[in-house]
Amino acid sequence: MSDNKKKILEMLAKNKISADDAFRLLSAIDGGEGRRESTGRAATAVKDKAKYLRVTVLPNPESERSGNYDRVNIRVPMSLIRAGIKLTSLIPSEARDKVNLALHEKGIDFDARNMKPEDIEELIGSLSDLEVDVVSKTGESVRVFVE
C-alpha cells in the first residue's frame, strides 16, 4: 500500500475527512497509478491528471459542530495557469527587468523571457507532486494540492 493511501485512511480514521472524500482521493490515486503503468510514460499521466490546483481550508471539528466556521474551497484550472504563464510575454520589458532584478536579489535566477512552451508543461508537471498540508494549533487545516 502506498504512503498516500495510508495517509488517506489515517485521515478517515481520525474523522479529518469524510468517507466520500476518502473514496474520491483513493480513486484518484488508483486512476493515476493505472495510467502511469499502462502508458509507461509518467509525463502523459501527469498531463492527464493535473487538471486543477486546489486550495482548501477546513475548520476544526469543534467549530464545525457549533456551526461557527468558514470553509474555503478553491479550484483553479491548470489551463488558467498555462494562459497566465504565456501572458508573461505581454509584460513590458521595463517591468520584466525590475521583476528579474528583484528575483535575482533574492537568489532566484529566473528570466521570464526564456520560458518556452515545453518549460510550461514541465512546470505544470512538477506541480502534480505538490502537496501542502498545514494543521493549526486550533485544528483548522489548509491543503494545497493538484488533482
pLDDT reading at 93 higher than 70: yes
| Nearby residues of 140 by Cβ (< 8 Å), 6 or more positions away | 57, 58, 59, 60, 63
pLDDT reading at 37 higher than 50: no
pLDDT reading at 52 higher than 80: yes
Arithmetic mean of pLDDT, 110-118:
72
- pLDDT at position 1, please? 62
d(CA 125, CA 118): 10
Arithmetic mean of pLDDT, 123-135:
81
Arithmetic mean of pLDDT, 67-95:
82
Spatial CA neighbour of 146 closest among 21, 40, 50: 50
Arithmetic mean of pLDDT, 118-135:
79
How far apart are the two ends of the chain, measured CA to CA in Å? Answer: 20
pLDDT mean across residues, the chain = 77
pLDDT reading at 138 higher than 60: yes
- pLDDT at position 35, please? 40
d(CA 57, CA 70): 8
Percent of the chain with pLDDT over 70: 84
